[in-house]
Structure 1
Amino acid sequence: MKKDGRYDVSDLPEAQFEPGSNEQVLRNRLGIKSPNEMDDAEARALGKVMTGLVRKYDERHNFTAADIRDIHRHWLGEIYEWAGEYRQVNVSKGEFPFAAAARVPDLMAEYERNVLARYTPCNFKDRVDVTRALAETHVELVLIHPFREGNGRAARILSILMALQAGLPPLNFSSIAEEKKQEYFSAVQAGLDKNYAPMERLFAEIIERSLGSS
């Protein structure tokens, strides 16, 4: 049996892989076994819900932890039965561990009080203040990693919605998926020490790129 700390989590849906996927794809409602096919399915699902999310969370909206769960559920609810639920398994990227699963509910409550309440609605007039707001909310959410899957993209959805509140165009994150990928992960790690400057620099570039392509 697979263990997560002291507790057996092998029976949790989020801990199971799709049969026949060689443990490459989590168990899902669509029976998808290929990682590439799953990437496509998740991307299509995001495209379907993004317009609705923009309408729901307008420029006056103060985001909450419940909203983050709602965003995740709307996006992935047709794919995973645990979409929108906080994870119950510990996760890591390489040797970098994210927050322990048992701490996620409390950490998300703190995130709502100390970060979301301070930075949303993101209607700051100064671009520097907008960049700071985007960087801190993004880094802290990724470090908590509240869901079993889709945390980075959920954080990017939040960033896009916040940028729209600030009057910016939809953000273009293609650089962090390509040439800036390692720099992005290093910027997330820097947030462990409350150092958001590396992520602020990345968001400044993302905003400039987005403005240029709008």
Structure 2
Amino acid sequence: MSDPLFDAADDAAKPLQAEEREQLIPTYIISRAELNEIEHIGVSDADRWVFSRKRGDVLDTNFLLTLHRRMFREVWRWAGELRTTGRNIGVDPIQIGVQLRQLTDDVQYWIDNATFSPDEIVARFHHKLVWIHPFQNGNGRHARLAADLLAVRLGRPRFTWGSANLVVPAQTRRLYVEALRAADKHDIAPLLTFVRS
């Protein structure tokens, strides 16, 4: 029999593993929809927090951990902690810290040297943060919020991300995942189009 909390919603949402379920803070959650709802509340709270205060430095690894913790602290015991297990996506856990540091250094260089347009810098930052996959869960949402914060820092409006909630509408989520996969192959154009659609 299928377990509604363990099953993936689509090919881009990974199913929960048994040890992940044990790390859930709310014990009443029994379905993926309930998990999505409680996570959405935390993400919305973190969004208000980060955009209603003096912003932290989004290119600081400690701030990226704090942002994730703010997003998921009511849901996951490991919120804000780097992933320690291998996945079918993301870098080897031992490389996460190094890759995050390399990413933040690269982005600062791109900004300082106007290597790309501000939107392209932010899209590349987002893509690489998702590619690193530093956390057990919530990587896409974390990377989108971090990217929006960087966009604002660079004097640009927040991205529209296909003008939809990417957890629910299958068509929008599919376009987003396809754009990320194109960026994996060094074609950033679909992601640049998607983030402002």
TM-score normalized with structure 2 length: 0.76
Match of 2:68 in 1: 72
AA partner of residue 98 (structure 2) = D
Contact residue 46 and residue 75 of structure 1 kept, 8 A? yes
Deviation at 1:15? Answer: 6.4
SS at match of 2:117: helix
The 1:189/1:118 distance shift into structure 2, 3 A limit, reads same
Quote how far apart the aligned CAs of 1:100 are. 1.9
1:1-214 equivalent positions in 2, closer than 5 A? 16-18=19-21, 27-31=23-27, 32-54=29-51, 55-57=53-55, 61=57, 63-92=59-88, 97-115=89-107, 117-118=108-109, 129-173=117-161, 174-175=163-164, 177=166, 178=169, 179-205=171-197
Structure 2 counterpart of 1:105, one-letter code: G
Query: Shift of the alpha carbon at 1:168?
Result: 4.2
Q: Contact between 1:134 and 1:203, CA under 8 Å: does it hold in 2? A: no
Describe the superposition over 1:64-104 as per-residue Cα deviations: whole angstroms up to 9, x where unpaired. Answer: 22211110011111221111111011223xxxx32222221
Residue 177 of structure 2 aligns to a residue in which SS?
helix
Q: Which runs of 5+ in 1 are unaligned?
A: 1-13, 19-25, 206-214
Deviations 1:148-175 (A, max 9, x none): 0000000110122123224444443344
Structure with bigger gyration radius: 1
CA contact (8 A) 1:62 1:120 kept: no
Residue segments in structure 2 that go unaligned for 5+ positions in a row: 1-16
When normalised by structure 1's length, the TM-score is 0.70
Whole-Å Cα distance in 2 between the matches of residues 98 and 49 of structure 1?
24
Please tell me whether the aligned partners of residues 58 and 150 of structure 2 are also in contact (alpha carbons under 8 angstroms). no
Q: Judging changes above 3 Å, is the alpha-carbon distance between structure 1 residues 188 and 168 closer, same or farther for their aligned structure 2 residues?
A: same
| Paired position in structure 1 for 2:5 | none
Q: Partners in 1 of 2:111 and 2:30 — Cα distance?
A: 38
| Paired residues, number | 173
Name the aligned partner's letter for residue 42 of structure 1.
E
Change (3 A) 1:78 1:110: same
